[in-house]
Amino acid sequence: MDQKLKDGYQHFLTHRFQEDRALYEELATMGQTPHTLMIACSDSRVLPQHILNSGPGDLFLVRNVAALVPPYEADDGYHGTSAAIEFAVTVLKVQNIMVMGHTGCGGVGHVAQGHACPTSGTRSFVSQWMAPLDSWMQKNTGILSSDLKARSSMLERAAINMSIDNLKTFPFIQERLAEKSLNIHGTIFDIHTGELNVVTQCDDGTFGVAPFE
CATH number at residue 79: 3.40.1050.10
Helix (H/G/I), strand (E/B), else coil: 130: helix
Q: How many whole angstroms separate alpha carbon 166 and alpha carbon 162?
A: 6
pLDDT at 161: 98
Same domain for 156 and 53 = yes
Report whether 147 belongs to an annotated binding site.
no
Its sign, for the CA torsion 166, 170, 172, 175, is positive
Inform me whether the pLDDT recorded for 162 exceeds 70.
yes
Inform me whether the pLDDT recorded for 83 exceeds 80.
yes
pLDDT at 123: 76
Same domain for 88 and 6 = no
Residue type, 10: Q
Inform me whether the pLDDT recorded for 115 exceeds 90.
no
- The tally of domains found in the chain comes to 2
pTM of the full structure: 0.94
Inform me whether the pLDDT recorded for 119 exceeds 70.
no
Q: How many whole angstroms separate alpha carbon 199 and alpha carbon 211?
A: 9
Structure confidence at residue 167 as a pLDDT band (50, 70, 90): very high
Same domain for 108 and 24 = no
Q: How many whole angstroms separate alpha carbon 47 and alpha carbon 185?
A: 17
**Which tens digit of pLDDT belongs to each residue from 127-155?**
899 999 999 999 999 999 999 999 999 99
**Which tens digit of pLDDT belongs to each residue from 27-71?**
999 999 999 999 999 999 999 999 999 999 999 999 999 999 999
pLDDT at 120: 55
Same domain for 103 and 66 = yes
pLDDT at 1: 81
Same domain for 140 and 157 = yes
| Edge-to-edge strands, sheet with 183-189 | 59-64, 36-41, 96-102, 183-189, 196-201, 207-211
Same domain for 132 and 80 = yes
Letter string b/e over residues 82-108, b meaning 16 or more CB atoms within 10 A of that residue's CB: bebbbebbeeeebeebbbbbbbbbebb
Domain range for residue 188?
A: 33-211
Report whether 185 belongs to an annotated binding site.
no
Inform me whether the pLDDT recorded for 124 exceeds 80.
yes
Within 8 A by CB and 6+ apart from 65, the residues are 41, 42, 106, 107, 126, 129, 130
Report whether 105 belongs to an annotated binding site.
yes
Report whether 102 belongs to an annotated binding site.
yes
